[in-house]
Amino acid sequence: MFIGHWAPALAVAASSRRAPQLGFLFVAAQLTDFAFFFFALIGLEHLRIVPGMTAMNPLDLYHLPYTHSLLGTAFWATGFAALVWRLNRDMVGAILAGSVVLSHWFVDFLVHRPDLTLAGGPARFGLALWDVPVAAIALELSLVAAAFAFYLKRTKGPPIPAFTLLVLMLVLQAVNWFGPPPESADAPFLLAGLAAFTLVALVAWWVGKTRWHRAETGLAVSSVGS
């Protein structure tokens, strides 16, 4: 799963005015992938390219216990929630942010081959929808479309930033699906992934600065974009 990870971020941002800023939630949604790509760069976790590993991509994610075990994801979620609480002193916002981080494991569970663990042990999990491209594509696009529509319904503001974000996500997803597969899981590949996550988060931050919940009035609205 790629852009589907951002669907929970959009949904949470739309669901509560106490949720952190959209850019923060986009970082939360991909926090464990940020960490995984960095850990792979320094040799702490590992992946390799195996052509035909799944029908949709050649990634063999054979060692990722610190970022993509359920326990590891819960650790990152707790840490991110603590950071949000430290910054905002809002327990509801912190819990919402942590839930977005935690959603990553469950969304991955739908599409990964069995390479996810509960706590880094030998038992591995994944429904392997990456081996059923029609289902995986329909699922990812449906999640994003539903979450984006919900976000637009619950917020108001200029449409250009929001649709810029959507177009960027769809372009990156199209490259992921239909572009040439990577030849090796080397530093350029990993850095490109980190750059893509960062770019989308920055655009999401821009979107969050231009939109507000429909129930908000007065100073909350007048401060948007300032």
Q: 220 in a domain, yes or no?
A: no
Using one digit for the tens of pLDDT, what is the confidence trace for 18-50?
Answer: 999 999 999 999 999 999 999 999 999 999 999
Give buried/exposed letters for 25-46 (b at 16+ CB in 10 A, else e): bbbbbbbbbbbbbbbbeeeebe
pLDDT at 60: 96
Whether 225 maps to a domain, the answer reads no
Domain count, the chain: 1
Global pTM reads 0.93
Burial label, 104 (beta-carbon count in 10 A; 0-12, 13-18, 19+) = buried
Mean pLDDT, residues 56-78 taken together:
97
Query: Quick one: pLDDT at residue 214?
Result: 77
Residue 221 has pLDDT above 60, yes or no: no
Q: How confident is the model at residue 217 (pLDDT cuts 50, 70, 90)?
A: low
3-state SS, 80-114, equals HHHHHHHHHCCHHHHHHHHHHHHHHHHHHHHHCCC
Residue 219 in any domain: the answer is: no
Residue where the block lists tokens 């995984």? 36
| Residue range 89-100, pLDDT digits in tens | 999 999 999 999
For residue 145, give its domain range: 3-212
pLDDT at position 153: 96
